Structure 1
Amino acid sequence: MAVTDNGSGGLHDIIARARTGLAAESAALRAAYEAQPRTKVLLEGRARLVDRMVVRLWSACGMPADAALVAVGGYGRGELFPHSDVDLLFLLPAAPDEALRVKLSSLVGALWDIGLEIGHSARTIDDCLEASASDITVQTNLLEARLVTGDRSLFDELARRYDKAMDPRAFFKAKRLEQEQRYARFNDTPYALEPNCKESPGGLRDLQMLGWIARAARLGSNWRDLARHRLITGGEASDLRNIERFLQHVRIRLHYLTGRAEDRVLFDHQEKLARLMGFEAGGSKRASEAFMQRYYLTAKMVTQLNTILLQNYGSVIFPDRGAAIVISDRFQAVRELLDIRHEDVFERHPAALLECFLILQQRSELKGMTARTLRALWLNRNRINAEFRADPAHKALFMQIVQQKRGIVHAFRRMNQYGILSRYLPAWRKIVGQMQHDLFHVYTVDQHILMVLRNVRRFTMGEHAHEYPLMSRLILGLPRHWLLYLAALFHDIAKGRGGDHSRLGMEDAREFCTQHALPAEDGGLVVWLVEHHLTMSQFAQKEDTSDPEVIRRFAAIVGDERRLTALYLLTHADIRGTSPKVWNGWKGRLLEDLFFATQRLLRGATPVEALGLDDRQEDARRLLRYHGLRPGVEDAFWSQLDAVYFMRLTPDEIAWHARVLYHRPDSDEPVVKARVVGDETGIQVMVYVPDQKDLFVRLTGFFGRMGFTILDAKVHTTRHGYALDSFVLQDPGHDMPYRDIIMLIEHELTERLEHPGAPERPARGRLSRQVKHFPITPEVSLRADEAGRHYVLSLTAADRPGLLFDVAEVLASHGIRLHTARIDTLGERVEDTFLLSGGGLSQDAQLLKVEREILDRLQV
């Protein structure tokens, strides 16, 4: 096509010049921004630059005079981020004929050719209105439509008819629903470790949505307009401008750092972003941690102001929602929201700063607070000072909130959101928005604590009893179970201070319990739970809980059944509150076994009786009879097994092994069986074979090559020299059904065992990008247990394929016997524990040598 532009050359020449000009001017805009970062200059400058380019090409492609080129979306608003799409509407007076379609295609191709990411549509006015009526995204894009070039009268007609068709009420409802759906995609939290600065709760999209509703309802086009309409205060308008600029800087920097439209604040970019935005490392905090804490506080303020403005919009857009209902001399209900009766309620009655949360708990018909109540609450939060905290009436109010039968989690989330909790509990202030770079907590410290509180609360609720039947039964039998809420609030409150956060938090909890006059027994329980909130998980996952001595030691720490039950409940809630990926049925079983064994011991059983050896065998026999096996068929096989075997396995596992092996205890052929376990997230594998050299190394190599993570391994040798090993594997996400995976394991592993060779090393694999940016220093500890019969190897390292193989290979090379392996994968980190014997470990030099060799293997 030889279209010319005023005789200056063909379209290809125009495209080439436009491409060069766009690149040069974009580079100049970036240089100017980096020299003096101003978001308005960059965003508007880029929009104007694109305007010039698209106008030039519109003309060069010979577009008809009665058509219009319209900018929509963010481009229509006159803001373009460095790598954002350019959204265009080709507004036509009528459906295009073939010649016009060719021209439109040529124009779109030319725009792509010069380096623009184009989103486009070609529509008539009727098409626009029809699409807008059925698609809220189209309606939103047209809300900010701006004429770039072409027929002004055609554009004005679209604007007039669009404005006439706009229904602010329907638009408001649709955008609220859209926000709820978007929040759900991001787990309803702005506090994820890698938030999306545009789409996550508290991101730029929330601010844009406020602007769209204001435009649709004709309430203004900027924050100053909203202040003039008294929808926000002048101070809030200033806050919103500053917040918006900060988030815009984050997004601009991300685009420049990555060279693409990247809106996720990934670990890969956080340290660079922090330094580009002027944050520096200080004290115990990295620059990225300081930056992300600022980001979270910003996102928190966005969600606060978003709530206030949406409620104010609602009162303007839906003015006929009924009269106020008086609750007390301080509060009333307006449209199912709690409202202050006088603007100075919190000034004259500071206790109302807590009372409002109590009322929301007590009156289920109230869905939240009005905008003016929230604003007054926020502006008066600093009235909660040392004098306020010392007032017995205020202490009583806080304890009432803790002890209510409903609304506990909502109350504390609101108190955290609006700065009340950090004023009432000064230690809380330090953990708001604080990241946890252990890579298995997916929430900031304050949000993790609130998740743990939520989990404990769910144990008390009938609608969740089917999820946690044992927890529900235990907590309802625990006197004053609300003490667990206090333990949850304080268990991690000292994170990030340096030192042992459990002991530091214990002191905070002790001070709180003393100040709030809790009885010594109750206060002692809260303090003890905070001090020991990690103890049960450490025993369950790192100790050999089939050893009666281990149960005795744990019972000595616990002391009584009330503490045991409370610690079990808190531990369960804590692990579940770190990340959806950390909890699994295997961990649940470890905790449950430890709980019941300790409970039996505390009730008078001996340590051996507490492990329930006789009960396990009897339960296993019942299962065998259930599966149709006649009494006594298991005796020959069981006679080859020692008591440790029965202590370490569950009745279900014992019965499964017996069903498979009772008729072949002296099999010359390897026996390999696998089955799905738990909630269908793992596979259990049993291997029975005459004991042979390097067996465990070969097995770990096999599973590693298949991509499985080994969660648990138990190694036994029968009295007549057979290895009976059991593994729990985490499914790596194979596309094939479980049935096919099980058949593959059984066939392939049997083949390997029938023709043993040298152990095959699995690929080491690549480290995740999270570990690359937040490296985990490996740690190894090898020490004798308290009884001196075995040695406990504990290691912490970055997770990777082949890690367990490397450890097993070192142990095998020294002739060390492995009894059990506990593999605990916490996000990107593993914390593994092995029970060992032999190999000359009683000699200090040998012990240090093994430690050093394992540490060398863990270095990445």
Structure 2
Amino acid sequence: MENLTPVAAWRAAFKDGKQRLLAAFAERQRPTPSAARALLRHLAKHVDAQLRALWREAGLPAGSALVAVGGYGRGELFPHSDVDVLVLLPNEAEAHRPGPLKDALERFITTCWDIGLEIGSSVRTLDECLSEAQGDVTVMTALLEARLLAGPSERFEALQAAVTRTVDARSFLRAKTAEMRQRHGKFEDTPYSLEPNCKESPGGLRDLQVLIWVARGAGLGATWDELAAKGLITPFESQQLRRNEDTLCLIRCLLHLAAGRREDRLVFDLQTAVAQRLGLQSTSGVRASELMMRRYYWAAKAVTQLNQILLLNLEERIEGRANVVPRRIDDFFLDRAGLIEVASDDLYQRHPEAILQTFVLYASTWGLKGLSSRTLRALYNARQVMDARWRADPRNRAAFVQLLQLPQGQTHALRLMNQTSVLGRYLWVFRAIVGQMQHDLFHVYTVDQHILMVLRNVRRFFIPEHAHEYAFCSQLAAQWDKPHLLYIAALFHDIAKGRGGDHSTLGADEVRRFARAHKLPKEDAELVAWLVDQHLAFSRVAQKEDLSDPDVIAAFAKTVGTPRRLTALYLLTVADIRGTSPKVWNAWKGKLLEDLYRLTLRHLGGSPMSQDAEIEHRKAEARQLLALRSALPDTEAPLWATLNVSYFARHDAAELAWHARSLWRHLGTATPVVFARPSPVGEGLQVLVYAPDGPDLFARICGYFDGAGFNILDAKIHTTRDGFALDTFQVLGNDPDTHHRDLVPMVEQRLASALTQTTPLPEPRRARLSRRVKSFPTTPRVSLRPDERAQAWVLTVSASDRAGLLYAIARVLARHRIDLQLAKILTLGERVEDSFLVKGASLAQARVQLQLEAELLDAIALPT
């Protein structure tokens, strides 16, 4: 053993060799897919040579073999991918008993790690390999891609032959298909997430590998050309598979290099670096990263389509369904075991009008669960037929409207149309937003996926089985006579994203063109155009305006005009917000939207809100609630005598009663009082604070909630006539599994304690920024303007969200002794749009206004 090369020398040689390969690739001005493929092969060969040298030095028994398995077994290695090897021992070897064999194995594996080769190793005999493979489909998959590195070829050939005999093609197909479905489910069954995994996501490299694994297991081939030779794919499909695989390989290779480690997610931090290595440049309207992601999405979409075709063909061949006699549906289509099959391969060339009829049939016929491989292939090859003349064909326009008007199936049909590229070719304007990212820190889907998600949400309003999810929406939808108009509005509401200009106005123009082309009645056309043009208005008013103000309701009612428009806009708004991100919707937003709907409907019904009458009604209802709680008569009187009209206008009867019942024994106390309860809207806590007023009170409250891990959703701020603050907060914990009822004692005790502090306000804590905020920061904006009556000021703040942001704003207001009347806290993903109604004598001075805005901009700016 004295002649062994020192580990340091091995390590230097391995590192230098790898660095030379990576440096040569990096020197290319614009790397190509072929260059990336060559790098992967050279990296694998470099590792091969190093492992063979170490194997020779380890001194293992002559009958042992070193085998590359898994991805490394394919003979290609990404810059930071795993190196998986199998040490194949003779059956008679005693691998687990102390002795020379075990020492040699430990020496070999330890040396690999010492020189920087982070191998994943398994040590098995032939019999153990077969036993493990039969019980674990992952082991079987790895062995199917095995490649001999060192040792006797006879032993390796025996392994290959045994694996081939052992694999059960049908069981293997079903296992890999189930595995793929489970994997897709983790990524929400879409290739269009904003940070996709280019290996594991739908349409990623793993989907292509599954096809080769299944084909290998069935003995049908190991390359695209071999599969084409067996008739499983066409030569054109083989070419497309290879081309899109090359694109994904290049992107994954550049991703590893940009990260400097194994990283298969196209995270925001790295997208720009990958785009720049591809030679893409940002323009005034489009980021380089967006161009790169569009290229990725198109490749992933093509892989998804081709994966469906080939997998169905493999299933038919392996399961023996190729000879199943299909049932004729009509002159154009057959039913092959529940899948729609074209009657002839050239159906769509001879009858282009049959393309949309395919999806009408799919949506309208019970028992049809998809398209056969023959139909998917026919659609894939009919893309050139779907031209301007095809789009203008009255038969196709009638078929598309028919699809939208069907009693069920629109969501599945339109998604399938998008997956097969038919939707973007029929609605040419839709094609422009396929795979388009949204860098607003609000949406987590590409524009096309968001649109289809919104359409799905609208559709669910009309399905009784989903009434428990959207109770009020389902109630309204049950009275709506033309669901297809809402589907059209959903399809077009964001269709003009990314063009520049107001996408609502541009989208309204597009839907008007659609309505004319498809001969919608004038009244229907005007409604869908209005919905698209105004689709942001409902959420803006509900979440940013003071709904207790009759003028706000009157102005919104004037914008809406009719109860029919109000109902349509409400349904579209709820569907839109819930289709942006799982994190954006909460019960408090739902309550704001529903409150605005009911107030506006009453105004439109001829009963404008009389504030005096409304307040008296609330007071009476609050007194009834107090009586039900066995409160003494006039319990509420001492508190109510200290409050003005705005307090009663901004709280409902249940809140008035809760405040009075909680505070009647604490009025005038110098010690801060805090009461909390589970929020009546169903999520989070409602917190009541009663304390002597002071310029820094709101800041201290925000500081406590920030430090305790609560998000403030809403704040209603009041000052009594005798100088006490009576503030009500809606807060939500960061942990979705939190049982908020259990937190009530803690919040009541600790917040009250925090408000007794008289020390200077501490600096806001510096928390780590999320990756999305770092990559796509929101430009901070501050606006200060008089309200409609010129009696107060409206302060609006827009910024990237982060821990301590609201506290930082509150500190600035406290420093300038600004009185806060109302706070509307709106969080959109990682962006906040907060509105405050404030008062302060100094605000009349222009100099103070400018200074306040400047300090707020400094407070909300991201740390450098």
TM range (shorter): over 0.9
- The separation in 1 between residues aligned to 2:811 and 2:465, in whole angstroms, is 49
| Contact in 2 for aligned 1:815/1:839 (Cα 8 Å) | no
Q: State how 1:97-176 maps to structure 2 within 5 Å.
A: 97-99=97-99, 100-176=101-177
Specify the alignment match of 1:42 in structure 2.
Answer: 39
| Contact in 1 for aligned 2:112/2:119 (Cα 8 Å) | yes
SS at match of 1:675: strand
Question: Which amino acid is the alignment partner of residue 157 of structure 1?
Answer: A
- Whether 1:465 aligns to 2:467 is yes
Question: Which amino acid is the alignment partner of residue 235 of structure 1?
Answer: F
Specify the alignment match of 1:26 in structure 2.
Answer: 18
| Contact in 2 for aligned 1:586/1:678 (Cα 8 Å) | no
State the shift of 1:842 in Å.
Answer: 4.3
Specify the alignment match of 2:64 in structure 1.
Answer: 67
- The separation in 1 between residues aligned to 2:50 and 2:619, in whole angstroms, is 81
Instruction: Between 713-722 and 346-355, report the one with greater CA deviation.
Output: 713-722
State the shift of 1:622 in Å.
Answer: 4.6
Specify the alignment match of 2:283 in structure 1.
Answer: 282
Deviation string, structure 1 residues 360-417 (Cα, Å, up to 9, x no partner): 0111211111112112112213323332233322211110111111111111111112
- The separation in 2 between residues aligned to 1:610 and 1:318, in whole angstroms, is 75
Q: 1:106 to 1:670 in 2, by over 3 A?
A: same
Question: Which amino acid is the alignment partner of residue 38 of structure 2?
Answer: V
Q: 1:635 to 1:185 in 2, by over 3 A?
A: same
| Contact in 1 for aligned 2:433/2:497 (Cα 8 Å) | yes
Specify the alignment match of 2:82 in structure 1.
Answer: 85
Q: State how 1:727-738 maps to structure 2 within 5 Å.
A: 727-733=729-735, 738=740
- Whether 1:76 aligns to 2:73 is yes
- Whether 1:297 aligns to 2:289 is no
Q: State how 1:664-743 maps to structure 2 within 5 Å.
A: 664-677=666-679, 681-733=683-735, 738=740, 741-743=743-745
State the shift of 1:799 in Å.
Answer: 1.2
| Contact in 2 for aligned 1:779/1:795 (Cα 8 Å) | yes
| Contact in 1 for aligned 2:679/2:686 (Cα 8 Å) | yes
Specify the alignment match of 2:414 in structure 1.
Answer: 412
Question: Which amino acid is the alignment partner of residue 150 of structure 2?
Answer: T
- The separation in 1 between residues aligned to 2:390 and 2:161, in whole angstroms, is 57
- The separation in 2 between residues aligned to 1:611 and 1:832, in whole angstroms, is 31
State the shift of 1:626 in Å.
Answer: 4.4
SS at match of 1:674: strand
- The separation in 1 between residues aligned to 2:183 and 2:737, in whole angstroms, is 29
SS at match of 1:533: coil
Specify the alignment match of 1:448 in structure 2.
Answer: 450
Q: State how 1:794-805 maps to structure 2 within 5 Å.
A: 794-805=796-807
Q: 1:738 to 1:210 in 2, by over 3 A?
A: same
State the shift of 1:300 in Å.
Answer: 0.8
Question: Which amino acid is the alignment partner of residue 89 of structure 2?
Answer: L
- Whether 1:350 aligns to 2:342 is no
Q: 1:106 to 1:412 in 2, by over 3 A?
A: same
Q: 1:105 to 1:777 in 2, by over 3 A?
A: same
Instruction: Between 224-233 and 754-763, report the one with greater CA deviation.
Output: 754-763
Question: Which amino acid is the alignment partner of residue 453 of structure 2?
Answer: M
- The separation in 1 between residues aligned to 2:84 and 2:653, in whole angstroms, is 64
SS at match of 1:726: strand
Question: Which amino acid is the alignment partner of residue 98 of structure 1?
Answer: P
Question: Which amino acid is the alignment partner of residue 26 of structure 2?
Answer: E
Specify the alignment match of 2:531 in structure 1.
Answer: 529
- The separation in 2 between residues aligned to 1:839 and 1:807, in whole angstroms, is 19
Deviation string, structure 1 residues 88-124 (Cα, Å, up to 9, x no partner): 1111123413112222122111111111111111111
Specify the alignment match of 2:216 in structure 1.
Answer: 215
Q: State how 1:495-574 maps to structure 2 within 5 Å.
A: 495-574=497-576
SS at match of 2:264: coil
| Contact in 1 for aligned 2:622/2:653 (Cα 8 Å) | yes
State the shift of 1:801 in Å.
Answer: 2.4
**Structure 1 vs Structure 2: percent identity of aligned residues?**
50
- The separation in 2 between residues aligned to 1:158 and 1:389, in whole angstroms, is 57
- The separation in 1 between residues aligned to 2:142 and 2:621, in whole angstroms, is 66
- The separation in 1 between residues aligned to 2:259 and 2:654, in whole angstroms, is 53
Specify the alignment match of 1:15 in structure 2.
Answer: 7
- The separation in 2 between residues aligned to 1:27 and 1:647, in whole angstroms, is 70
Question: Which amino acid is the alignment partner of residue 529 of structure 1?
Answer: L
Q: 1:298 to 1:73 in 2, by over 3 A?
A: same
| Contact in 2 for aligned 1:611/1:647 (Cα 8 Å) | no
- The separation in 2 between residues aligned to 1:264 and 1:811, in whole angstroms, is 42
| Contact in 1 for aligned 2:340/2:368 (Cα 8 Å) | yes
Q: 1:75 to 1:688 in 2, by over 3 A?
A: same
Question: Which amino acid is the alignment partner of residue 215 of structure 1?
Answer: R
- The separation in 1 between residues aligned to 2:625 and 2:216, in whole angstroms, is 69
- The separation in 1 between residues aligned to 2:14 and 2:738, in whole angstroms, is 49
SS at match of 2:377: helix
SS at match of 1:743: helix
| Contact in 2 for aligned 1:671/1:687 (Cα 8 Å) | yes
Specify the alignment match of 1:58 in structure 2.
Answer: 55
Question: Which amino acid is the alignment partner of residue 30 of structure 1?
Answer: L
- The separation in 2 between residues aligned to 1:810 and 1:580, in whole angstroms, is 33
Specify the alignment match of 1:490 in structure 2.
Answer: 492
- The separation in 1 between residues aligned to 2:284 and 2:666, in whole angstroms, is 64
Q: 1:108 to 1:680 in 2, by over 3 A?
A: farther
- The separation in 1 between residues aligned to 2:260 and 2:315, in whole angstroms, is 40
State the shift of 1:733 in Å.
Answer: 3.0
Q: 1:623 to 1:68 in 2, by over 3 A?
A: farther
Question: Which amino acid is the alignment partner of residue 474 of structure 1?
Answer: L
Instruction: Between 647-656 and 272-281, report the one with greater CA deviation.
Output: 647-656
Specify the alignment match of 2:636 in structure 1.
Answer: 634
- The separation in 2 between residues aligned to 1:740 and 1:362, in whole angstroms, is 50
Q: 1:611 to 1:29 in 2, by over 3 A?
A: farther
| Contact in 2 for aligned 1:549/1:607 (Cα 8 Å) | no
| Contact in 1 for aligned 2:176/2:210 (Cα 8 Å) | yes
Question: Which amino acid is the alignment partner of residue 425 of structure 1?
Answer: L
- The separation in 2 between residues aligned to 1:362 and 1:178, in whole angstroms, is 30
| Contact in 2 for aligned 1:293/1:433 (Cα 8 Å) | yes
Cα RMSD of the aligned pairs, angstroms, is 2.0
Question: Which amino acid is the alignment partner of residue 789 of structure 2?
Answer: A
State the shift of 1:843 in Å.
Answer: 4.8
| Contact in 1 for aligned 2:588/2:681 (Cα 8 Å) | no
State the shift of 1:631 in Å.
Answer: 5.3
- The separation in 1 between residues aligned to 2:665 and 2:646, in whole angstroms, is 22
SS at match of 2:432: helix
| Contact in 2 for aligned 1:814/1:839 (Cα 8 Å) | no
- The separation in 2 between residues aligned to 1:774 and 1:689, in whole angstroms, is 40
- The separation in 1 between residues aligned to 2:736 and 2:417, in whole angstroms, is 44
Instruction: Between 409-418 and 782-791, report the one with greater CA deviation.
Output: 782-791
Instruction: Between 293-302 and 778-787, report the one with greater CA deviation.
Output: 778-787
Deviation string, structure 1 residues 797-852 (Cα, Å, up to 9, x no partner): 11122222232233233333211111111122111111123334345554344333
SS at match of 1:189: coil
Deviation string, structure 1 residues 230-252 (Cα, Å, up to 9, x no partner): 22221211111111111111111
Normalising by structure 1, what TM-score?
0.96
Specify the alignment match of 2:198 in structure 1.
Answer: 197
Normalising by structure 2, what TM-score?
0.95
Question: Which amino acid is the alignment partner of residue 98 of structure 2?
Answer: E
SS at match of 1:91: strand
- The separation in 2 between residues aligned to 1:189 and 1:793, in whole angstroms, is 40
Aligned length: 852
Q: State how 1:422-433 maps to structure 2 within 5 Å.
A: 422-433=424-435
Specify the alignment match of 2:336 in structure 1.
Answer: 334
State the shift of 1:739 in Å.
Answer: 5.3
Question: Which amino acid is the alignment partner of residue 16 of structure 2?
Answer: A
- The separation in 1 between residues aligned to 2:158 and 2:681, in whole angstroms, is 60
| Contact in 1 for aligned 2:611/2:649 (Cα 8 Å) | no
- The separation in 2 between residues aligned to 1:201 and 1:473, in whole angstroms, is 36
State the shift of 1:198 in Å.
Answer: 0.7
Question: Which amino acid is the alignment partner of residue 152 of structure 1?
Answer: S
| Contact in 1 for aligned 2:636/2:664 (Cα 8 Å) | yes
Q: 1:253 to 1:755 in 2, by over 3 A?
A: closer
- The separation in 2 between residues aligned to 1:415 and 1:50, in whole angstroms, is 45
| Contact in 1 for aligned 2:587/2:682 (Cα 8 Å) | no
- The separation in 2 between residues aligned to 1:226 and 1:627, in whole angstroms, is 76
State the shift of 1:761 in Å.
Answer: 3.1
